[in-house]
Chain A
Amino acid sequence: MSTTPSSLIIGVGDTDYGLDWALCRQSKARTDSYGYTVTAFNRALADAGITKNDIDGLYTGAPLAYERTAEVLGLDVRWASSGDSAQALQDAEAAIRAGYAECIALVYGNDQRSAGTAYGGPGASYGDQFLSYVYYEPWGFTSQGALYALLAQRYFALNGLDERVLGEVALAQRMHARLNPNAVMQAELTMDDYLASRKIVEPLRLFDYTIINDGAVVLLVTSEEFAAAKGLTDRAVRLKAFGRSDMNKEATSLAPRLLDFYHPAHEEAARRVYKDASIGPEDISALQVYDSFSVHIPLMLSGLGFTDDQNVGHFIQSGALRPGGQLPTNTSGGHLSESYMQGWGHLAECVRQVRQEAGKRQVEDARFVQYASDVAGKVFTVIFEAAKERR
Chain B
Amino acid sequence: MMITRPAPRRSFYDNPFWEYVNNHQLRLQQCASCSNRWYPPGPACPACNSEEWSWEPISGTATLLSWVTFARTYFPNMPAPYTVVACQTEEGPILLADTTADPASLQIGAPMTLRYYEAMDESSQPMTLYSWEPTRD
| Distance to closest chain A CB from B29 (angstroms) | 13
Count contacts between A and B, CB distance < 8 Å.
Answer: 110
Whether the pair A153, B6 counts as a contact (CB closer than 8 A) is: no
Q: Which of B6, B68, B72, B103 contacts A150 (CB 8 A)?
A: B68
B74 → chain A, closest Cβ, in Å? Answer: 4
Of A135-143, A171-179, A281-289, the segment with at least 4 beta carbons within 8 Å of chain B is A135-143
Q: Which of B39, B65, B84 sits near A140, CB closer than 8 Å?
A: B84
Pick from A121, A127, A153, A249: contact of B74, CB below 8 A: A121
CB neighbours of A149 from chain B (8 A)? 68
C-alpha spacing A157/B5, complex, angstroms? 30
- Is A252 in the interface zone, CB < 8 Å from B? yes
Given A146-B84, A250-B94, A137-B6 contact (CB < 8 Å): yes
Cross-interface CB contact of B69 among A131, A135, A201, A258, cutoff 8 Å: A201
A228 on interface, CB distance cutoff 8 Å: no
Question: What A residues does B38 contact at CB under 8 A?
Answer: 250
CB distance from A197 to the nearest CB of B (A): 11
Segment 189-239 of A: residues with Cβ below 8 Å from B: 198-203
Flag if A139 contacts B71 (CB, 8 Å).
Answer: no
| Residues of chain B within 8 A of A122, CB atoms compared | 6, 74-75
Could you say which of A134, A199, A254 contacts B94, with CB atoms under 8 Å apart? A254
Cα A199 to Cα B80 with chains together (Å): 11
User: Once the chains are docked, how many angstroms separate the CA of A72 from the CA of B119?
Assistant: 49
Name the one of B68, B88, B131 contacting A202, with C-beta atoms under 8 angstroms. Answer: B68
Minimum Cβ distance to chain B for residue A380 (Å): 23
Q: Is B31 an interface residue (CB 8 A)?
A: no
Per the 8 Å Cβ criterion, residues 52-103 of B in contact with A are 65-72, 74-75, 78, 82, 84, 86, 88, 93-98, 103
**Any chain B CB within 8 A of the CB of A1?**
no
Contact: B129 with A154, CB < 8 Å? no
Q: Which chain B residues lie closer than 8 Å to A141 at the CB level?
A: 68, 84, 96, 98
Looking at chain B's contact residues, the main secondary structure is strand
Q: Chain A: which residue is nearest B82 at the CB level? A: A140
Question: Is the CB–CB distance between A151 and B94 below 8 Å?
Answer: no
Q: Mark A247-259, 1 if CB is under 8 A from B, else 0.
A: 0011011110011
For residue B40, CB closer than 8 A to chain A, the reply is yes
> CB-CB < 8 A to A253: which residues of B?
39-40, 93-96
A74 to chain B, nearest CB (A): 41
Cβ–Cβ contact A146 & B70, under 8 A: yes
The answer to whether the Cβ of A18 comes within 8 Å of any Cβ in the partner chain is: no
Q: Is the C-beta of A98 less than 8 angstroms from some C-beta in chain B?
A: no
Complex A-B, nearest 9 residue pairs according to Cβ-Cβ distance, in ascending order: A121-B74, A154-B66, A137-B6, A199-B71, A202-B69, A253-B94, A149-B68, A139-B98, A140-B78
Q: Which residues of A contact B (CB under 8 A)?
A: 120-122, 127, 131, 134-143, 146, 149-151, 153-154, 157-158, 198-203, 249-250, 252-255, 258-259
Using CB atoms and an 8 Å cutoff, list the residues of chain B in contact with chain A: 5-9, 38-40, 46, 65-72, 74-75, 78, 82, 84, 86, 88, 93-98, 103, 108, 119, 127, 129, 131
A and B contact pairs by CB, cutoff 8 A, 21 listed: A131-B40, A134-B9, A135-B40, A138-B5, A138-B129, A140-B78, A140-B98, A141-B84, A146-B68, A198-B71, A199-B71, A200-B72, A201-B70, A201-B71, A201-B72, A202-B68, A202-B70, A202-B71, A255-B94, A258-B65, A258-B94
